[in-house]
């Protein structure tokens, strides 16, 4: 299973979102440097290492922005430990304004 599919499945189970978009943005980071095993390496932009997650879920009603981000990070803890390098999170409750 791809990392993207795993992210989508876990977020659906955890939050039952009304809307969900998981966008692989790895290609946008080609040429960027990051630390891997204590060494600076240049990222080639391939694979599944950088994602943007947009979701609208009733589960976020009454939660602060920080609480929402923590909840998503908790749901995706295994992916983050396994090499997911960057995760941009855009969580909203129903009725809140979104950028998408």
Q: What is the pLDDT of residue 43?
A: 47
pLDDT in tens, 39-85: 544 444 456 788 999 999 999 999 999 999 999 999 999 999 987 88
Over range 28-35, report the average pLDDT.
Answer: 53
Determine whether 57 is exposed, middle or buried from the number of CB atoms within 10 Å of its CB (0-12, 13-18, 19+).
buried
pLDDT at 91 over 80: yes
pTM of the model: 0.80
Tracing tokens 């290492």 back to the chain, one arrives at 49
In the CATH hierarchy, which fold is given to the domain comprising 3-92? GMP Synthetase; Chain A, domain 3 (3.30.300)
Give the β-pairing of 33-36 and 19-24. Answer: unpaired
Annotated domain spans of the chain: 3-92
The alpha carbon dihedral of 64, 19, 99, 1 has a sign of positive
């Amino acid at each position: 299973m791809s990392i993207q599919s795993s992210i989508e499945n876990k977020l659906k189970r955890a939050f039952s979102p009304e809307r969900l978009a998981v966008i692989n943005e790895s290609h946008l980071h080609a040429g960027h440097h990051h630390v891997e095993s204590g060494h600076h390496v240049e990222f080639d932009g391939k694979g599944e290492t950088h994602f943007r997650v947009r979701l609208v879920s009733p589960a976020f009603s009454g939660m602060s922005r920080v609480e929402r981000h923590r909840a998503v990070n908790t749901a995706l803890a295994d992916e983050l430990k396994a090499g997911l390098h960057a995760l941009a999170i855009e969580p909203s409750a129903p009725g809140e304004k979104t950028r998408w």
